[in-house]
Amino acid sequence: MSDNDSRPPRRPALRSSGELEAYAGSSDPAQLSEAAHETAAALVGTGRAAHDPQVTAKLVNLVDELGISTLAELWADRPATSLPGALWRLYTLREWVRRDPVGAARDYEAGRGSAEVAHAVAGSAEPPTPEALQQLTDQILAGVFEGDLAVALERASAFCRVVSVGRAHRVDDQDSAASTQTTRAAALLTTASDLSRCAALWRAGKLD
């Protein structure tokens, strides 16, 4: 598969966000699973075929229009190494940075010195200010819909690795809530591994 393949959706592209909400409202597990994969493929296919910055911007800001709960209903329970699973992780990563940019910047700053390779792959601006990290996660998500999707997944994976290392370092510097922060750091490391595997699957044409 070439870097410029657009991976067309399995069904015609979604015409509106209302269709995503309708899919999310299903109570049938089998239907919801099918809808999760179809909507993920449709979104990625639509964005990559459009070659339109306005379409990309709308898709990047999808949570603003739908709410994170709608995407959670559709994608949160899908396998981590699936297209809807990957999209769920990318959107929740962006949403976390958007809601807590200062905390994200602290974690990232604490981790970048010990995860220099991951920091370089993620491509954060220098210094990694709250504003720079918000822009970075927007850029990473935009890469799903334009450019090389595998690279976008690898950048997200690297971002998670840096933040995970940073959280672990910050736990060492404070005793309060250490257990919770350690658990969150470990979860981010798992997410990083999942996204890296998704990148490899995409390149092999097996990320569905």
- Residue 167 counted as domain residue: yes
In a domain, 114, yes or no: yes
186 is written with which tokens? 């470990």
- Euclidean distance between CA atoms 159 and 124, whole angstroms: 8
Instruction: Give the per-residue pLDDT at 31.
Output: 84
Q: What is the pLDDT of residue 202?
A: 97
pLDDT tens string, the chain, 208 residues long: the values are 444 444 443 443 554 556 666 666 556 788 888 889 999 999 999 999 999 999 999 999 999 988 999 899 999 999 999 999 999 999 999 999 999 999 999 999 999 999 999 999 999 778 999 999 999 999 999 999 998 999 999 999 999 999 999 998 877 655 555 667 778 889 999 999 999 999 999 999 999 9
Peptide bond into 127 cis (omega under 30): yes
Q: Given this model, what pLDDT does residue 21 score?
A: 63
Instruction: Say if 63 falls within a structural domain.
Output: yes
Per-residue pLDDT, 77: 92
- Tally of structural domains, the chain: 1
- Structural domain harbouring 104: 17-203
Residue 120 belongs to a domain:
yes
Residue 10 within any structural domain of the chain: no
Distance CA 60, CA 91 (A): 8
Separation CA 47–CA 57 (nearest Å): 10
Is residue 8 assigned to a domain? no
Residue with tokens 């297209």: 83
User: How far apart are alpha carbons 119 and 161 in whole angstroms?
Assistant: 8
How would DSSP label each residue in 6-55? ----SSPPP--HHHHHHHHT---HHHHHHHHHHHHHHHHHHHHHH--HHH
Q: Is residue 5 part of a domain?
A: no
At 111, give phi and psi (nearest 5°).
-100, -20
Does any domain span residue 1? no
